[in-house]
Amino acid sequence: MLPTVPWSEVERRARTLPGGPVVRSGGADDLTVRGLVTDSRRVVPGSLFACVRGAASDGHRHAAAAARAGAAALLVDRPVTTDLPVLCVPWVRAQLGPLGALLAGDPALELGLVGVTGSNGKTTTSALVGGVLEAGGDRTGVVGTLGARVGTRSRLTALTTPEAPELHELLRWMVDAGARRAVVEASSIALDRGRVDGLDLDVAVFTGFEEDHLDHHGTLEHYWASKARLFEPDRTAAGVVVVDDPWGRRLADQARVPVTRVGTASDADVRVLGWRTGAAGTELLLADDTGGHRVRSRLVGRVHVGNLAAAWATGRVLGVPADRIAAGLAAVAPPRGRGTVLGGSGRPVVVVDYAHTPRALAAAITTARDLCGPGGRVHLVLGARGRRDRYKRQGLGESARAADCVWLTNEGSHGEDPAAIIAELRVGLFGTNAAVHTVPDRRQAISAAVRAAGPADVVLVVGRGHETRLLDTTDPRDAVHLDDAEVANTALIAEHGPPARGVGRAERAS
């Protein structure tokens, strides 16, 4: 339950931010508000409506609608015509974190917080850290791409990192459910837009880095700097950084907080000495300042080696005993759409994964190759999202050359021409020895790949992972249901029959 907050307290918190004057107009001293809202359609009586300027809309234009819905007051950064009390600030977005925290009752002050950022692996690493902290005895909430959960409760979220008011409300929900810690995925765009403002982290985790989201950031340097912002002293007390790429080493060298280095390098504080992976999961041998440790996980694929090591290091930084960390890592189920394994036991293996960058795709194909039986082939179902990160499509095609058979298809064109997207992917495949098929209908492409696969083969379906809605126009109301794992499982049963009794997953070893 969100608290009611005096209007004077809202003004006082707003004035704590530097940058310019804060002007209060109207509102008696006994006025109270409950909740901070950035969407006028979500206003309820008593809300404080924040008029946020966005790329496609300006909340100031919806002030009247918010007033009609019962908003108690407005937060603005330009004049509006209204009879409601108004707090005018230099920039509304900068206030969303501090005021969102205040109007949720400052739940972050009651939680030990971990933030996870990186180009790939945020969702998996967040789940692993959550499992470690639970095994250490603290009820732990997790907020990220797959939604928010604490204990057996869950909520959907529209963004990897929700807007600050929603994020602080989720943290309040977790505190009310008995949580003592929380893990938050922090995307680079969220860091740019202040969505994690108002959080004071115990540990920030960096999983790795490659080109992504340049349609938002413009340059690779700006993209990296956005992620590095999580490791500033006013945001976190400590860092855990995977240093197996140059960007991670750079961050570890430049961060002004204590950093635990993770990786295969000889100077890593948590060092990966060896690993093996197969359909049954992944096993690591790690070394830290307490000696060697063997870690087992149900996660499939070498891509998770760094994620597991980072979660181990985070647990050690937070004082979780080694045996509890190992138990927590072993208990975590693969997050939905992150290396989800279907089939096997005489049927082809199907792997559904979110891999949507060239390096992540290359790693996913390597994992698929590990899961092939003798003489087996990798069938790749590949698309690219419309109106997003067009620059990386050729790179995805280049990574796809490592597959034996590629099924180019639609991944959700969002109003762009699907044929043009597929043509850009095909440029990267130029010169490949792989058989390349174009099947624009995604259901048909997945089904065709499963039909073509033999018992020793692996079908790798990438790009959407957990997502269940596919959109081919610019209107979200036109989205249709499409779950890659659901389609693949239906095709497996139709073409190869149900799994053998008592067998629920692939048993093939690498």
What distance, in Å, lies between the first and last C-alpha atoms of the chain? 50
3-state secondary structure of 119: coil
Q: What is the dihedral of CA 238, 194, 94, 105, to 10 degrees?
A: -70
Residue 7 tokens, joined: 């209007």
Rounded-to-integer distance, Cα 115 and Cα 314, Å: 10
pLDDT of residue 211: 57
* Interacting residues of 248 by C-beta distance below 8 A, sequence separation 6+: 206, 208, 209, 241, 242, 263
pLDDT of residue 507: 38
- What domains can you pick out in the chain, each with its CATH number? 5-95 (3.40.1390.10), 107-331 (3.40.1190.10), 338-496 (3.90.190.20)
Q: Please report, in tens digits, the pLDDT of each residue of the chain (510 residues total).
A: 789 999 999 999 999 998 889 999 988 878 999 999 999 999 999 999 999 987 778 999 999 999 999 999 999 999 999 999 999 999 999 999 999 999 999 999 999 999 999 878 889 999 999 999 999 999 999 999 889 999 999 998 877 788 999 999 999 999 999 999 999 999 888 888 888 888 999 999 999 876 555 455 457 777 778 888 899 999 999 999 999 988 899 999 999 999 999 999 889 999 999 999 888 899 999 999 999 999 999 999 888 999 999 999 999 999 999 999 999 999 999 888 888 999 988 899 999 998 888 988 998 999 999 999 999 999 999 999 888 778 789 999 999 999 999 999 999 999 999 999 999 999 999 989 999 999 999 999 999 999 999 999 999 999 998 888 998 988 888 999 999 999 999 999 998 888 765 433 343 333
- Helical (H) or strand (E) element with 176: helix 164-176
Taking CA 417 as the corner, what is the angle to CA 416 and CA 418, rounded to the nearest 5 degrees? 105
**Alpha helices, DSSP H, located in 278-321:** 304-317
Rounded-to-integer distance, Cα 186 and Cα 34, Å: 26
- Nearest C-alpha neighbor of 87 from the set 109, 71, 101: 71
Between strands 181-185 and 259-263, the pairing is unpaired
- Nearest C-alpha neighbor of 465 from the set 440, 494, 446, 485: 485
390 is in an annotated binding site: no
Residue 290 tokens, joined: 């307490």
Residue 275 tokens, joined: 């690993």
40 is in an annotated binding site: yes
- Helical (H) or strand (E) element with 283: strand 281-288
Instruction: Look up residue 255 and give its DSSP letter.
Output: -
160 is in an annotated binding site: yes
Which strands sit side by side in the sheet containing 23-25, from one edge to the other?
A: 23-25, 86-88, 73-76, 48-50, 36-37
8 is in an annotated binding site: no
pLDDT of residue 510: 31
Rounded-to-integer distance, Cα 184 and Cα 181, Å: 10
Residue 505 tokens, joined: 């997953």
Q: Which residues pair with 293 in a beta bridge?
A: 286
pLDDT of residue 502: 43
Contact 49, 59 (CB under 8 A): yes
Q: Which residues pair with 204 in a beta bridge?
A: 115, 239
Rounded-to-integer distance, Cα 159 and Cα 148, Å: 11
Place of tokens 């298809």: 409
Contact 47, 60 (CB under 8 A): no
**How many CB atoms lie under 10 A from the CB of residue 287?**
14
161 is in an annotated binding site: yes
pLDDT of residue 216: 53
Which strands sit side by side in the sheet containing 203-206, from one edge to the other?
A: 153-155, 147-150, 140-144, 181-185, 112-117, 203-206, 239-242, 259-263, 270-278, 281-288, 291-297
Instruction: Look up residue 84 and give its DSSP letter.
Output: S
